[in-house]
Amino acid sequence: MDKFVIEGGHRLRGTVAVAGSKNAVLALIPATLLAPGIHRIRHTPNLRDVWTMSRLMATLGAHVELDSSGELFVDTRAIEHFEAPYEHVKRMRASIYVLGPLLARFGRARVSLPGGCAFGPRPVDLHLKGMEKLGAHITIEHGYIDARTDRLRGAPIHLDVPSVGATVNILYAAALADGETVITNAAMEPEVTALARVLVAMGARIDGIGTSTLRIEGVRELQPLPWVENIPDRIEAATFLIAAAMTRGSIRLTCVNPYHLGTVLDKLEEIGCILDIDGSTVELRCNGELRPSNVTTAPYPGFPTDVQAQWAALMLTAGGSSRVTDTIYPTRFGYVPELRRLGADIEVIENTAIINGQARLEGATVMSSDLRASASLVLAGLVADGRTDVLRIYHLDRGYERLEERLRRLGAAIERVPTDEF
């Protein structure tokens, strides 16, 4: 077990290259099940969640290897099983992404129901309704989703909520179904768009990519691609920009897609950061007072729920009173009691965190509860007086590659230390 030991008070300055998107690659890897063959995915981040997905794919019969350059090799010619066991799904909800591809390839899938997580029940009803609309017969027994179909048939599917995961699973299945599927109120996150574009490159017929209405004309088979390029991780990019702003430093991010960061960049400018955007490079400078802000999360292109914890930490360093409201995960505030241990003046009322940015933060030991909460605690430790220990950083390693090394290169005083503290 590791922890981070952070000494606060150091300005971040320098350049960092943003890694490949965790949430995009977790959708691209199961897509390889749709086309037996050898696939390569470049710009794959070296993360715990990628290892979990790779182990799940190996359980199904795939051969998966990630090389030192970030190229993921996936051979799906010998897929013999269609069961995603609980041991993988309990570690990562995105394991449910094998449901659609296995149904499309075998007409059969047995996938453990994902449990909840630290910030909510995380239902999968929209995934299952989507599969049923496409002709799958689904039963739930002993904690497993058992799905069968003689043949998937296209259908109109309306999502009550623009669910990223449900849109992803329906895209996989519809790509190889008979006839046309139209998804209305589909998620428009860049990770969904990235998957749709790769499926088209594999031979799928999809219109409306990037919009909330996706029209898929099923085809008989898809072809493996010699290689695909993963998109940059917009959540990691936002986290680094916020870290620089909190420490009143400056940062130059490379390998970014600024269009994926729209609302976050607008908010950073609104509170007083100076941004310079040039192609795939975003520079931020912040050397004065930051203004308070009110942020409400929303499906893309709204403010990302995956950035709300980091934004709340940033608001601790701004003047005045700020509010952060999460409309997607109303209880995603596990980081708040931990920030209060650092002396933060922050409270949660219903699905809103109210932050008074006047308080000085003092180093303490704090505990991560989930991926983005742990990022929030690390950011707060960068500005707290003295030493902050962040425990359970295995949460952080799910979604940030060698974060301590990259923050250290920017001037942070942060070390990864083995610990038996849990």
| Residues designated as active site | 117
Among 42, 122, 137, 151, indicate the residue that binds ligand EPZ (CB under 6 A): 122
**Judging by beta carbons within 10 Å of its beta carbon (0-12, 13-18, 19+), is residue 26 exposed, middle or buried?**
buried
| Choices 122-130, 145-153, 256-264, 333-341; region in contact with ligand EPZ by CB under 6 A | 122-130
Binding residues for ligand EPZ restricted to 184-213, rule: CB under 6 A: 187, 191
How many DSSP H helices and E strands does the chain contain? 14, 24
Q: How many residues sit in the footprint of ligand EPZ (CB under 6 A)?
A: 25
In whole angstroms, the minimum distance from the beta carbon of 232 to ligand EPZ comes to: 14
Q: CB of 13: closest distance to ligand EPZ in angstroms?
A: 27
Which residue in the block uniquely carries the two structure tokens 């109210």?
A: 354
26 binding ligand EPZ? (CB under 6 A): yes
Nearer to ligand EPZ, 160 or 221 (CB): 160
CA 107 distance to own-chain centroid: 29
Report 342-371 residues binding ligand EPZ (CB under 6 A). 371
In what side-by-side order are the strands of the sheet with 83-84?
83-84, 108-112, 144-148, 137-141
Among 125-133, 247-255, 285-293, 333-341, which window interacts with ligand EPZ (CB under 6 A)? 125-133
Cβ closer to ligand EPZ: 168 or 414?
A: 168
409 binds ligand EPZ (CB under 6 A): no
Distance CA 48, CA 195 (A): 21
Closest CB to ligand EPZ among residues 86, 385: 86
CB-based burial of residue 73 (10 Å sphere; 0-12 exposed, 13-18 middle, 19+ buried)? middle
For ligand EPZ, the binding residue among 16, 60, 66, 94 (CB under 6 A) is 94
Q: Which of 52, 149, 163, 308 contacts ligand EPZ by CB under 6 A?
A: 163
Residue 83 zone, left/alpha/beta (φ > 0; ψ -120 to 50; rest): beta
Assess 39 for contact with ligand EPZ (CB under 6 A).
Answer: no
Comparing CB distances to ligand EPZ, the nearer of 121 and 179 is 121
Long-range CB pairs of 116-120 (<8 Å, 24+ gap) are 117/93, 117/370, 118/334, 118/369, 118/370, 118/373, 119/329, 119/331, 119/332, 119/333, 119/334, 119/369, 119/370, 119/373, 120/329, 120/330, 120/331, 120/332
The residues facing 157 across adjacent strands are 183
**CB 196, CB 170: distance < 8 Å:** no
Minimum CB distance to ligand EPZ smaller for 4 or for 97: 97
Question: Which stretch, 12-20, 147-155, 162-170, 400-408, contacts ligand EPZ (CB under 6 A)?
Answer: 162-170
Binding site for ligand EPZ (CB under 6 A): 22-23, 26, 93-94, 122-127, 161, 163-166, 187, 191, 305-306, 328-329, 371-372, 399
